[in-house]
Amino acid sequence: MTVPWLLSRRAARTPDDVCVERRSELGAAWVEVRAGEFEEDVIRAARGLVGMGLQPGQTVAILGATSYEWSLLDMAVQYAGGVVVPIYESASAEQIRWILADSAVRLVLTDTAAHAGLVESVRTPGLLASVVYDADGMTRLYAAGADVPESEVLERKEALTSDDLVTVIYTSGTTGNPKGVELTHGNFVASALNILVSEREVIDTPDARVLLFLPLAHIMARIVFVYAIAGRGRIGHVPNVRNLLADIQAFSPTALLCVPRVLEKVYNAAEAKTRGMRLKAFRWAARVAVDNSRKSFHGPVFGLKREIARSLVWDRLTQALGPDCRFAISAGAPLSKRLGHFYRGIGLTVIEAYGLTESTGPAAANRPGRVVMGSVGQPIPAGAVKIAKDGEVLLKGPHIFRGYRNDPQATADAVDRDGWFHSGDIGTIDKHGFATITGRKKELIVTAGGKNVAPAVLEDRLRGHPLVSQVVAVGDGRPFVGALVTLDAEMLPGWLRNHGLPRMDAASAAGHPRVLEALQRAVDRTNAQVSRAESIRKFVIVPGDFTEDNGLLTPSMKVKRDEVLRRYASTVDGLYRDARGPQAGGGRRKRGARRGGRS
């Protein structure tokens, strides 16, 4: 069984079912594409690729924003017997050169002339001229296949096996050249068929509608597209999050695929728009939502509270997320338990999942109706998760990759003799099989006192504060744990207004006593969840933010920790020049620190 088999199966069974909706040329409407029509489009594009000289087994790179055409061409390459190599839009010229050379890419499909020019600047031997898949480019692609019979494409499709490569995905990585993860058709099909069983309510119902806005170069968005075409739902594409709320209103999804930061931003933005009595009402309604999720029994008094909270706050938020949205699939980092309960309390169930490129996306996930807040759920059907003696998360199953491209030693280091993939993450599993991820093994902080500290536990909790954009905990080999913090410039104006402070930029706010006091309270609340040896004793606000553009975030929004520590080495040293204790702008956990609400 192969990925093209999944699409052909749907097109044969229900050719008139809508499987994709694409933006109209003017972008004002969504055009339905039926399963039979989509497969015809795929075959037509595949004929063009064959006509351009693509041979079975050759690699084709796709470089562009998330779009209908990206997914169409992804499937077309597969139907033509090729292997897809996705490249992030943000990739540097050197990264592109490395990927083209390492995977011996034959053809690059890209969405803009600028991207095509970037590819041309690092041209590798044997590379054909890039195809820009705008309207004119697609016309030329179809024309190239005019003399290629459909039977040629179908023969190539039928010749594929589950052991054949479907894609090589280069992990964005935080250091060095990215590694190429080789995934087979069997990996994709195993993931799809098992997820359609375990997450049926989310992805495999006739009314399921999923909006993709994360990069298709990442496994998360890519595999969800496959789930959608393999099941009974439909999927839509938008290129980024710039107009996300408007895009959600237009598409009206039943499920969102996102990272926790998106859910944090939605909540913080809603809170920032209120002030005075309305702010108090918002926070009261948020507490009611959390209670609504946590409690198994609700009496008439609570029922009245719930209706008031719904009319005051909940309805506005659910309308912003789309009136039909019932699920949010969240992965990439932990979501705070409180925020998970809040969203479930207002009617949006957050399905936290865990996986890597090497596991073809999800290796574990919560199920609708079986959600344990703070966990990433149970192993997917046919998969297995266990914890090694040192706390590392090990994965096994038909969804685990076959190896790293041109790097047998790295493959041998990652997959042991019994077939267990060593993920590099650390975590725990409870007696019911629900896994919790606490951080990356290589990122563990070992203080001078010998205490092992998982920085992600601290960072993820502190990042939930509306003033905070990014956090990096530090302290390896040092006397205590400290933190580098950046301010969220988008949320800052609303926070200042709600606290009766004048407008100021982030640089000015970084030294304002009220801002520092609010962050100290947030640190105290974070510290209340861990032991004293693990607590943040000092913090410093660093200028600017960590972004993909300045090289401090990966395309999947993960902090490049090593690069941050290198760039801010003198700032980190400054935290420890006076090791006698906390100072202004950083602090010790206070016995009477308030834990509820947020300042």
pLDDT for 322 equals 85
- What percent of the chain is modeled with pLDDT above 70? 95
- 329 forms bridges with which residues in the sheet? 257, 351
Q: Do domains 3-201 and 260-323+326-441 have the same CATH topology?
A: yes
| Tens digit of each residue's pLDDT (9 = 90 or more) over 524-534 | 999 998 888 89
pLDDT(590) > 90:
no
The predicted model gives 551-567 an average pLDDT of 88
Alpha-helical regions (H) of 163-299: 185-198, 200-203, 219-230, 244-251, 260-272, 277-294
- Per-residue pLDDT at 130 exceeds 90: yes
- Segment 528-552 shows an average pLDDT of 91
Q: Give the percent of the chain with pLDDT over 90.
A: 75
Residues 393, 403: contact at Cβ < 8 Å? no
Whole-number pLDDT of residue 10? 97
Kindly state the average pLDDT of the residues 221-244: 93
In 10 A of CB 505, how many CB atoms?
11
Whole-number Cα distances in Å, 4 to 39, 56, 217: 9, 14, 19
How far is Cα 140 from Cα 400, in angstroms, rounded to an integer?
A: 38
Distances (CA, A) of 571 to 343, 551, 559, 574: 37, 18, 17, 5
Q: Does residue 580 register a pLDDT over 60?
A: no
Which tops the pLDDT comparison, 249 or 157? Answer: 157
How far is Cα 46 from Cα 153, in angstroms, rounded to an integer? 7
**H/E stretch holding 105:** strand 105-110
pLDDT for position 579: 56
Domain ranges of the chain: 3-201, 260-323+326-441, 444-575
C-alpha to C-alpha distances, 339 to 49, 111, 348, nearest whole angstrom: 47, 37, 11
- What are residue 169's DSSP bridge partners? 181
Least confident of 5-19, 267-281, 505-519: 267-281
Contacts of 599 (CB under 8 A, 6+ apart): 499, 517, 518, 521, 522
Output the average pLDDT for the chain: 91
3-201: CATH number: 3.40.50.980
Residue 62's CB is within 10 A of a number of other CB atoms, namely 24
> Would you tell me which CATH number, out of the four given (3.30.1330.10, 3.40.50.1820, 3.30.300.30, 3.40.640.10), belongs to the domain 444-575?
3.30.300.30
Half-sphere exposure at residue 285, Cβ-oriented, CA atoms within 13 angstroms: 23
CATH of domain 260-323+326-441: 3.40.50.12780
Per-residue pLDDT band for 581 (boundaries 50, 70, 90) equals very low
Report the alpha-carbon distance of residue 561 to residue 566 in Å, rounded: 9
d(CA 315, CA 320): 9
pLDDT in tens, 256-305: 998 888 888 888 888 888 888 888 999 999 999 999 999 877 788 999 99
pLDDT band at 597 (very low <50, low <70, confident <90, very high): very low
Q: Are 593 and 525 in contact (CB under 8 A)?
A: yes
Residue 421 predicted with pLDDT over 80: yes
Query: Residue 554 pLDDT > 50, yes or no?
Result: yes
20-68 tens-digit pLDDT? 999 887 767 899 999 999 999 999 999 999 999 999 999 999 999 999 9
- The band of 593, judged by pLDDT with boundaries at 50, 70 and 90, is very low
Give CA–CA dist 298/187, Å, rounded.
Answer: 44
Q: What is the mean pLDDT of residues 226-233?
A: 95
What is the average pLDDT across 468-493?
94
